Amino acid sequence: MNPLIGYVITGVVMLVVGLLLREFEPKVKIVYWVPHTFWFNIPIPQPENPSPTGGTPATAALLSHAITIQNAGRKTAENVEIVLRAKPDFFKLQPPMDYVESKTPAGEHVITVKSLGHREFLTVEFLSYASHPDPLLIRSSAGPGQLIPVQTFRLFNPWLNRISSVLILTGFGFWMYWLLRVAVFILRGINIIQ
């Protein structure tokens, strides 16, 4: 075999291994979604003597919504910030966690949680009537979070999940076997391996 080909293969293998190590190193990955948003129109009690002109009864809008945040990475996320357009009337963290509230120079409200561990969840429940705290940004010290679409789905029996996992692994093994066979065929065709 030509020594130059050996150097090229060594360089390519080192590059691939380096990229794989970089890809699989522990990282922070903040994802979030909005599990629910619901508006209530609450009638305002009218005085005993209604006006003679009639009209529609007055209502007040009450907003109930939540944001669920998860660290999907393998490294602990530090200083997770939830930046809201306005200070919420009421909010609560579930599970209960220590947090700090602050305000940006532009007036946005910031809720900061010190850390969020690997695969740890945090849900912030809001109840608003005067202000509507739209989320502007969710981030950690490692960078911004990503809004992901979610959908509620039915959970199946554990045995059905195990069967589907076995079928998926069998299919993956099948594809890996044939990819290796093709790679060996090509490498033998260009006389790199015997």
Q: How many CA atoms lie within 13 A of 185 on its CB side?
A: 6
What CATH number does residue 98 fall under?
A: 2.60.40.1170
- Tell me: do 181 and 119 sit in the same domain: no
- Tell me: do 142 and 91 sit in the same domain: yes
Give percent above pLDDT 70 in the chain. 93
Give the H/E segment covering residue 46.
none
- Asked if residue 11 belongs to a domain, the reply is no
Residues 17-29: tens digit of each pLDDT:
888 888 888 889 9
- Asked if residue 78 belongs to a domain, the reply is yes
- Tell me: do 38 and 125 sit in the same domain: yes
- Tell me: do 193 and 131 sit in the same domain: no
Stretch among 1-10, 48-57, 59-68, 69-78 having the lowest mean pLDDT:
48-57
Closest CA to 85 of 135, 124, 139: 135
- Asked if residue 100 belongs to a domain, the reply is yes
Supply 150's token pair: 């979610």
Q: How many CA atoms lie within 13 A of 3 on its CB side?
A: 0
| Burial class, 87, CB count within 10 angstroms (exposed 0-12 / middle 13-18 / buried 19+) | middle
pLDDT at 50 over 70: no
- Asked if residue 18 belongs to a domain, the reply is no
pLDDT at 2 over 80: no
How many Å apart are CA 77 and CA 88, to the nearest integer?
A: 24
pTM above 0.75, yes or no: no
Q: Strand pairing partners for 83? A: 110, 137
For residue 55, what pLDDT is reported? Answer: 60
CB 136, CB 85: distance < 8 Å: yes
Mean of all residue pLDDT scores within the chain: 88
Tell me, what DSSP letter sits at residue 139? E
Phi, psi for 140 (deg, rounded to 5) = -130, -175
- Tell me: do 143 and 176 sit in the same domain: no
For residue 145, what pLDDT is reported? Answer: 95
Number of domains into which the chain is organized: 2
Residues 148-182: tens digit of each pLDDT:
999 888 888 889 989 999 999 999 999 999 999 99
- Tell me: do 119 and 78 sit in the same domain: yes
- Tell me: do 74 and 107 sit in the same domain: yes
- Asked if residue 49 belongs to a domain, the reply is no
Under the banding of pLDDT at 50, 70 and 90, the label for residue 42 is confident
- Tell me: do 75 and 163 sit in the same domain: no
- Tell me: do 82 and 107 sit in the same domain: yes
Residues 80-116: tens digit of each pLDDT:
999 999 999 999 999 999 999 999 999 999 999 999 9
- Tell me: do 66 and 118 sit in the same domain: yes
Closest CA to 33 of 11, 79, 2, 66: 66
- Tell me: do 91 and 127 sit in the same domain: yes
* Choice between 57 and 182, residue whose per-residue pLDDT is larger: 182
- Tell me: do 164 and 142 sit in the same domain: no
E strand map for the chain: 30-33, 37-43, 59-71, 77-84, 90-94, 99-103, 109-116, 121-128, 135-140, 143-144, 146-147
Q: Which domain holds residue 179?
A: 157-194
pLDDT at 12 over 70: yes
- Asked if residue 47 belongs to a domain, the reply is no
Average pLDDT over residues 30-40: 91
Per the listing, tokens 């529609």 go with: 56
pLDDT at 52 over 60: no
For residue 90, what pLDDT is reported? Answer: 94
- Asked if residue 19 belongs to a domain, the reply is no
